Amino acid sequence: MPVRIAPSILSADFSKLGDEVRAIDAAGADWIHVDVMDNHFVPNLTIGPMVVKALRPHSAKPFDVHLMVQPADALVEAFAEAGADILSVHPESGPHLHRTLMRIRALGKQAGVVLNPATPLAALDHVMDLIDLVLVMSVNPGFGGQSFIESALPKIEAIRKRIDLSGKAIELEVDGGVDAGNAGRLANAGATMLVAGTASFKGGPGHYAANIAALKAA
């Protein structure tokens, strides 16, 4: 399967977010990636469930909601009700990762685990049967527009092997510094979904289709 693109609305024009989501959808986005930051678990403060609910009518594409919040459990239900399709959490964001993933699945949503640059692969050991997605952070979470951390590549390769051994159709997503210059290497390492903020939204709506096409071609 060709690698797909999940543009991060963190890089969109927040003054016209509905228009931006419609434009990036029409330009060929496969998922819409929503970065939720709480200025506690990560630096920066972004959006809450009300914004996701407001954006939901603007696209039928899956809403890929990355919860960079602590504790995550208190917000899972609100984002599920707001229209999230996939909810991804960090092992560090609460004491009971297994329970959080069970809660996400009980709400009828897909569940993901996010690995920060220093989070070991062992965090996946006992939850592979509960997840639909592994999201590898190739920057430290909290800001858009950061440079790609090269050590993410062997990590992606190792997770690809784990997923293949599990026999499950688990997406392997990469977020952070993704552009046309490294998209090919990420795909070769085993990624199936690339989050791209700056690379998707640069140049304004007239460039979105070309930006996404360039990522997919790379």
Which residues have a catalytic role annotated? Answer: 35, 175
Cis status of the peptide bond prior to 71, with omega within 30 of 0? yes
Distance between CA atoms of residues 52 and 50, nearest Å: 5
Sign of CA dihedral 91, 84, 108, 112: negative
- Name the residue type at position 89: V
- CB contact at 8 A, 171 and 131: no
Distance between CA atoms of residues 52 and 65, nearest Å: 9
For residue 129, count CB atoms less than 10 angstroms from its CB and return exposed for 0-12, middle for 13-18, buried for 19 or more: exposed
Cα first-last separation, the chain: 14
Distance between CA atoms of residues 138 and 142, nearest Å: 12
Sign of CA dihedral 42, 87, 103, 59: positive
